[in-house]
Amino acid sequence: MNCNQEEFLICTIATLLESSQHVAVGMASPVPGSAALLAREETKGRIDGLRLSMIGGDANNPFTDGGRELFDCSGQGRFDTFFLGGVQIDGQANINLVGTGEYPAMERRFPGSFGSAYMYFVVPKVILFRPEHTRRVFVPEVDFISAPGTSEEGVYRPGGPHALVTELCLMIFDRKRKRFQLASVHPGHSVEEVLDNTGFEFDIPETVPETLGPTDHRLELLRTQISPKIAKTYPEFVARVFETAD
């Protein structure tokens, strides 16, 4: 079955959630949200089935104690998986959500760090999701560290980066070596293309597999079961991405 880029990325992320127990999804995250809903659907009925808490909208939002509850729960260790992005991301998995140029009067200012400076430290498995794979995004060194990828010994840090998903590839982060390793390249793209468009150094194993595309069953599940659920929180996203499902 053919699928579009968003569907492919949703399924790629869903695969990364297979061992997750409780996934939290922040604001403005339709692709990670869809992936988590899909992974939950696939583990439904199992005792260790995936649990999902989404802020932003009322659907799948279990919080009743105000804006701090997501962060408090994270501090309590109730989630094992969260998603972050970045205006810039570097090879140490430092992320920048604030802007480019010299802080504070930056050349280009973006919204700000949101909860990253906390969530990146306390949620065990953080998946970085940034579709645009260019040297503008993947830089040698970020201009502003909203949240560092790694910490010195002695700093309380049960959490941190696990993987990076882009429009070209999947990378896995090695926390001990403080480096990304290319895990797979999406169909239609090459290791060379990834190298050309990445501004930081990363490890490349001898053989790099192609990222597995979604099975027909998974795509159908996504289009028929998941799209109406994600539409409760992101109607415009669903209208744009899942038009093929009509």
Q: Would you say 142 and 96 are in contact if contact means Cβ atoms under 8 Å apart?
A: yes
How many residues sit close enough to other proteins to count as binding (CB under 8 A)? 57
How crowded is residue 220: how many other Cβ atoms within 10 Å of its Cβ?
13
Residues sharing a CB contact under 8 Å with residue 39, sequence separation 6 or more, in sequence order: 14, 17, 18, 20, 23, 50
Q: Which of 2, 45, 46, 108: binder of other proteins (CB under 8 A)? A: 108
Q: Which residues pair with 108 in a beta bridge?
A: 100
Position 236 contacts other proteins (CB under 8 A): yes
**Least Å from the CB of residue 38 to other proteins:** 20
184 DSSP assignment = E
Q: Which residues pair with 123 in a beta bridge?
A: none
- Region from 11-19, 114-122, 127-135, 214-222 binding other proteins, contact rule CB under 8 A: 114-122
Separation CA 116–CA 58 (nearest Å): 22
Identity of the residue, 120 or 180, whose beta carbon is nearer to other proteins in the bound complex: 120
Identity of the residue, 59 or 191, whose beta carbon is nearer to other proteins in the bound complex: 59
Identity of the residue, 130 or 186, whose beta carbon is nearer to other proteins in the bound complex: 130
CA quadruple 55, 36, 23, 171: dihedral, nearest 10: -120
Provide the residue type at 82 as one letter: F
Site string for other proteins, 73-102 (x = CB under 8 A): xxxxxx------------------xxx---
CA 70 to chain CA mean position, Å: 17
Residues sharing a CB contact under 8 Å with residue 45, sequence separation 6 or more, in sequence order: none
Identity of the residue, 113 or 211, whose beta carbon is nearer to other proteins in the bound complex: 113
Q: Which of 103, 132, 140, 187: binder of other proteins (CB under 8 A)? A: 103
**Least Å from the CB of residue 9 to other proteins:** 18
**Least Å from the CB of residue 203 to other proteins:** 23
**C-alpha separations of 20 from 56, 79, 82, 147, 162 in Å:** 21, 9, 10, 22, 12
Scanning residues 118 to 177, which ones bind other proteins (CB under 8 A)? 118-122, 144-148, 151-152, 154-156
Angle made by CA atoms 75, 24, 115, in degrees to the nearest 5: 60
**Least Å from the CB of residue 236 to other proteins:** 7
Q: Would you say 171 and 127 are in contact if contact means Cβ atoms under 8 Å apart?
A: no
**Least Å from the CB of residue 208 to other proteins:** 31
Scanning residues 43 to 72, which ones bind other proteins (CB under 8 A)? 51, 53, 56, 58, 62-69, 71-72
Q: Which residues bind other proteins (CB under 8 A)?
A: 22, 27-28, 51, 53, 56, 58, 62-69, 71-78, 97-99, 103-122, 144-148, 151-152, 154-156, 236
